[in-house]
Structure 1
Amino acid sequence: MLTSLPVAFDAKSFLASLTELPGVYRMIGADGAVLYVGKAKNLKKRVASYFRDNLSSPRIAHMVGQIDHIETTATRTEAEALLLENNLIKSLAPRYNILFRDDKSYPYIVLTRDKFPRLGFYRGNPDRKADYYGPYPSSWAVRDSIHLLQKMFRLRTCEDSVFANRSRPCLLYQIKRCSAPCVGYISPDDYAADVQYAAMFLAGKQQEVIKRLNTAMERAAEKLAFELAAIYRDQIQSLHQVQEKQFVSSSKGEDVDIVVAVREAGQLCVNLAMVRGGRHLGDRPLFPSNAGDSTAADALTAFLRQHYELHPAPGRLLVSPLPESEELEETAASLAELAGRPVPIAEARTLTQKAWVEMALQNARLAILARNQASAQQEQRLAALQEALQLSEAIVRIECFDISHTMGESAVASCVVYDGNKMSKRDYRRFNIRDITPGDDYAAMRQAVTRRYDGIASGEGRAPDLILIDGGKGQVASAWAALADLGLTHLNMIGVAKGEERKPGLENLIFPEADGRPPLNLPSDHPALHLIQEVRDEAHRFAITGHRGQRAKSRKTSTLESLPGVGPARRKALIARFGGLAGVREASIDQLAEIPGIGRELAEKIHSALH
């Protein structure tokens, strides 16, 4: 479709003095808002392309028609332009830029550089204090790889504080997942050799590892050290099993990212799959915002520019669809400058590469299907909630409040937001409650609601269509009094009171006294009740997490010390078994119940407290 729009902006005069250096341009509307941020190898040529007689995209044509003026920043290189473009997109969130919001950083496997290096999970920006392998598409992919490495090379995973204070080996040694360097059961040289093997495995050199292990096994057998030879034999078998499990793998041991984009059923999805050392590690679907009528190729190009500015680029990129030649050339040049080496971007050619791409495309389509199904279900639940509460207008945005404290200590209020058929975590708020009588939940609720909606009363921000209060009549009355003080009693509000025996499905929905309606009890299978429970539970989780953080900060103690029914002896047993808080949190109820002195009932309480 070709679209031509009149442009009020005097492009001819502006372009006459525009430089041909690389840089970033910002298109700004009459109200001062940034409409679009872009980078260019040649600023003059790129900006001029927006003012042709015909534009292929109605969305871009509509944007051009709103331009009041354009600002540019020249840079020395394309890589500098790419970095600046990404920083501006993230800080300004322009209306017409395809934006990938990925709040979670990608996880890595870390090998520390101690005398006895620790193998662990790491999320964040890698530094030079350790060796990092990844990134991985998901936390389960990291943990699966760590379990494999424990089985094959028996490296320690415990925290340094636990490692330094052990007097006897832990259970991991007993089940042959650690060589117990903490108590000297392995020499530093032998442990260093295992670390080297693990590093080679993570770098994709499995065949070299197997070759070295075979040599070591033969030498041990020649010296009649049959127990040592058996250990090497088991490691070799484990490596072969890992290779056999890979249903899509590469014998070349290469590092490849597969990036595909699919526009289907009204959704635009970019799916990133990762291959490290020839092992396919899984994928991650992403749905950009501000996509409009952008093509799959546009979204893919935007992702490449934004993602690899933050994360290291692999040896090559396989993409589908392939961007236009000019965009492809610019993107490849920018990534090469960032990486300090060429980063080939190409379509799949070999059978293995085509299998990777086809699998990524299929997973992207499945992600779109799942997203649309979830969206339809959420719309049904919202409609059911509107009908149940007899509201005249549709519900789009819900905000829910909860209070968490321990006998009045470190009270924290949470406000979570449900918007656009999903929880909107960027809009969550926590309030540290102050200047009230400790333990006064009513005063805490009133303060939280006042602080949240004070700006709304002044005409700032967006008001919710429904306010949920986790509590009964007292909490609802306090929240309603806060709204009355702010002149916001037109906002819809209900309380969610726990029913008999505090069982899910028996909740009472409490209306403000001014409403005059009696409490409402929805059937346990009612879709509206399920939505309320989902939002209420998220508010509770967010509140209790904030409270624990404040309490631990004030007490300067570990979260383990606040676990119900866990004293010094049991806490010591938990640390000995799982290595620390992270390990305890990852443990299942059955694993917790195996600890001496912790039965099934206490294990359930500990698991619930940590989740």
Structure 2
Amino acid sequence: MTFQSKYPDDLPDKPGVYIMKDVEDRVIYVGKAKNLKKRVKSYFKDDLESPKTRAQMRQFHHLEYMVTDTEKEALILESNLIKKHMPRYNVRLKDGKRYPYIKISNEDYPRVFITRRVTDDGSYYYGPFTDSGALKQMVKYLKSLFKIRDCKRMDGPCLNSQIDICNAPCDGRISKEEYRENIDKVTMFFEGKYREIVDKLKDEMAEAARNHEYEKAAVLRDQLNSIDNMLERQKMEITGDLDQDVVALSSDENITCVVVFSIREGKIIGKDDFLMNGAEDTPQSKVLSAFLKQYYSGPRHVPKEIIIQDEVDDARLIMEWLSEKRENKVTLKVPKRGRNHRMVQMVAKNADIIRQHHERVEGALVELKNYLKIPQLPRRIEGFDISNISGKMPVGSMVVFEDGKPKKSAYRKYKVETKGPDDYNMMREVLTRRYQKLVDPGENGGDVPDLILVDGGKGQLNVALEVLNSLKLDMPVIGLAKEFEEIFMPDLPSPIILPRDSESLKLLQRVRDEAHRFAVTYHKKLRSKEQDRSILDDISGVGAKRKMKLLRHFGSIDNILKASASELAEVEGINKKLADTIHNYLEKRG
């Protein structure tokens, strides 16, 4: 139960979690305490040392608190609430589009899906994750296993219900309570409570058998076997002599980067890197502690040893919690010499390199914002180009850069229907097709860009402005002309020229060149397909297999053209009637 208060004296002398809010009831900080009254009282001193804490208390209006039985329970609850609310003054894994999360929606019949946008909408979020491929497989597995709905509108039974991977709550085939039980099992999985899921399924299966509900018992048995098989595979994968994660960070006044090396059976099998928000003016021990609590709170393998570069706050509690998750002892170690110390130094060096890269990117984004006088950092840039030869087979491309990096999953290619040569109208078509999706109801237009870049000068820029104005969209847009690297902007009579060695210009050039490369590659692919076509493709009854057999038999199109009907009929799969059809067609075309 959650209680509300404005004053620390109202709080009990018990362990728990406190949630600080501002005047608009937004969560600004979540903390845990062994003694709620003493911990919260410490915020109300006149001589607060940390500038960050002083800024936090200037925003403070009231707080809520939850009492727990133990400090370890408070630690777990604190971690979950930080992930859910992403409070401004907590040290937290970066709240950006960089990492995917699993979302369990706040609906009567919740959905389970992957998102990169964490909002305070009452839903539950698990993550972040770095391996999006593995994440998609896991979500697909769980949704089919527990038959969780996939549709947004619940407007009638769909294909998923017909192939028995959805319980069709839209058709009343499952009660809200039964559906919630399945969601609870999915939630337990994401919280790493695998044994609890197994025990729960066994109890439900036994009860169904006692009640002679044999069909239900069979479904539960299949779910149990599926999870047991998966857990068995995981056990096989994590056996070995060395089961470690090595964690180190690098930080300056602006950016904190944490890197994790995963070591299994004595081999480095993976590397994850994360940016942390809210780490300014925060000791390294607190940043590492916050990271460990958030990183291991999801469905992630907990290794036997976690090697870290510095002592952390709540070390004892973290080890107890992780040991419980692993169902075996977990230790945190801070090595001072030897192999593990060298590993920590290597991971820290990787963190340094990644942080420095992010600093350059961040600097380029800040430069661009200032040079272009746009309202926010251009974290998402969408770049466009057109490719054609004298108007033939025109194509368009859209590339996306997020935080200075290409996001290839968001790239789009377009077969242009506009007749050419008319580059302006081709660009108009591509931009309209892309941004119409942002305004059409029911369309998923994806994320809104912070900056649009078109390859070209004033003419291409004007086309882009016409499209955005017609759709009543207000987004920053520029044209980048290649010859002199001039930047054309709306309402400016003369182009802007950025310093040749500036990181901001280099970033724009990368976006422009990538859009060009993507368009040209697609155009070449279409041309190649067209060139692979032959006269045989236009003959009824001659498909890809028969075409291949003819070419293998005769060696070339020229030899096929010279062949008689009887010679054509000698080819496997070509009967006399089809041979006559082929011969007559080729003779007419000859």
Normalising by structure 2, report the TM-score. Answer: 0.51
- Return the match for 1:397 from 368, 378, 381: 378
Q: Indicate how the Cα distance of structure 1 residues 566 and 328 shifts in structure 2: closer, same or farther if over 3 A, else same.
A: farther
| Structure 1 residues 279-319: Cα deviation after superposition (integer angstroms, max 9, x where no partner) | 34464443312222111111101110011112121001122
**Aligned residue in 1 for 2:125:** none
CA distance in 1 between counterparts of 2:429 and 2:464 reads: 9
**Alignment partners' CA distance in 1, 2:44 and 2:502:** 55
CA distance in 2, matches of 1:70, 1:319: 34
* 1:477 paired to 2:462: yes
* Residue 88 in structure 1 maps to residue 77 in structure 2: no
Q: 1:452 to 1:417 in 2, by over 3 A?
A: farther
SS in 2 for 1:312: coil
Q: Which amino acid aligns with 1:445?
A: L
Equivalent residue number for residue 97 of structure 1: 90
- Contact 2:487/2:497 (CA < 8 Å) preserved in 1? no
Q: Give the equivalent residue in structure 2 for 1:67.
A: 60
Are residues 563 and 267 of structure 1, via their aligned partners in 2, closer, same or farther at CA, if it must alter by over 3 Å? farther
Alpha carbons of structure 1 residues 347 and 412: separation in structure 2 relative to 1, 3 Å? same
Match of 1:442 in 2: 428
1:90 to partner: Cα distance: 3.3
The equivalent position to 1:293 in structure 2, one of 272, 275, 281, is: 281
Give the Cα–Cα distance (whole angstroms) in 1 for the partners of residues 140 and 465 of structure 2.
53
Alignment of 1:312 onto 2:301: yes
> 1:59: how far off?
1.0
Is 1:494 the counterpart of 2:468 in the alignment? no
What SS does the aligned partner of 1:287 have? Answer: strand
The one-letter code of the counterpart of 2:507 is L
Name the counterpart of 2:247.
Answer: 259
Q: Distance in 1 between matches of 2:6 and 2:452?
A: 48
Relative to structure 1, the CA distance from residue 79 to residue 382 in structure 2 (aligned partners, 3 Å threshold; closer, same or farther) is same
The answer to whether the 8 A contact 2:382-2:449 is kept is no
SS of residue in 2 equivalent to 1:65: helix
Percent sequence identity over aligned pairs: 28
Distance 1:46 1:380, change over 3 A: closer
Amino acid at match of 1:296: Q
How many pairs are equivalent? 396
Indicate the residue corresponding to 1:37 in structure 2: 30
- Map of 1:58 onto structure 2: 51
Deviation at 1:443, TM superposition (A): 4.3
What does the per-residue CA deviation read over 1:561-606, in whole Å, with 9 as the maximum and x for residues that have no partner?
A: x98878978xx9xxxxxxxxxxxxxxxxxxxxxxxxxxxxxxxxxx
Q: Is 2:286–2:312's contact at 8 Å kept on the other side of the alignment?
A: yes
Confirm whether residue 302 of structure 1 aligns to residue 287 of structure 2. no
Task: Please name the residue that 1:352 is paired with.
Answer: 339
The one-letter code matched in structure 2 to 1:494 is: I
Distance in 2, Cα, partners of 1:44 & 1:333: 24
Match of 1:334 in 2: 321
Q: TM-score, normalised by structure 1?
A: 0.50
Contact 1:403–1:444 under 8 Å retained in 2: no
Q: Shift of residue 262 of structure 1?
A: 3.8
Question: Are the equivalent residues in 2 in contact too, given 1:430–1:543 (CA < 8 A)?
Answer: no
Q: Secondary structure at the match of 1:288?
A: strand
Cα pair 1:204 1:278 within 8 Å, conserved: no
Match of 1:323 in 2: 312
In structure 2, the gaps of 5 or more residues are 101-128, 143-232, 420-424, 441-446, 534-543, 549-590
Aligned-partner Cα distance in 2 for 1:266–1:32: 28
Output the CA distance in 1 between the equivalents of 2:273 and 2:469.
44
Q: Is the 8 A contact 2:361 2:503 kept in 1?
A: no
Which has the larger displacement, 480-489 or 335-344?
Answer: 480-489
Instruction: Select between 445-454 and 334-343 the one with higher mean Cα deviation.
Output: 445-454
- After superposing the two structures, state which structure 1 stretch, 314-323 or 440-449, moved more: 440-449
Deviation at 1:265, TM superposition (A): 6.7
Matched, 1:536 2:505: no
State the partner residue of 1:362.
Answer: 349
RMSD, aligned α-carbons: 5.6
- Partners of 2:506 and 2:36 in 1: CA distance: 53
Q: Which runs of 5+ in 1 are unaligned?
A: 1-8, 109-120, 131-197, 206-252, 455-460, 498-504, 549-558, 573-611
1:36 match: secondary structure: strand
- For residues 73 and 432 of structure 1, what CA distance do their matches in structure 2 show? 51
Letter in 2 for 1:20: K
Q: Does 1:28 align with 2:21?
A: yes
Q: Secondary structure of the residue that 1:309 maps to in structure 2?
A: coil
Output one character per residue of 1:495-544: Cα deviation in whole Å (capped at 9) or x when no partner: 246xxxxxxx5487574786444x78999988665322223356679999
Q: Which amino acid aligns with 1:442?
A: R
Following superposition, the deviation at residue 478 of structure 1 comes to 3.1
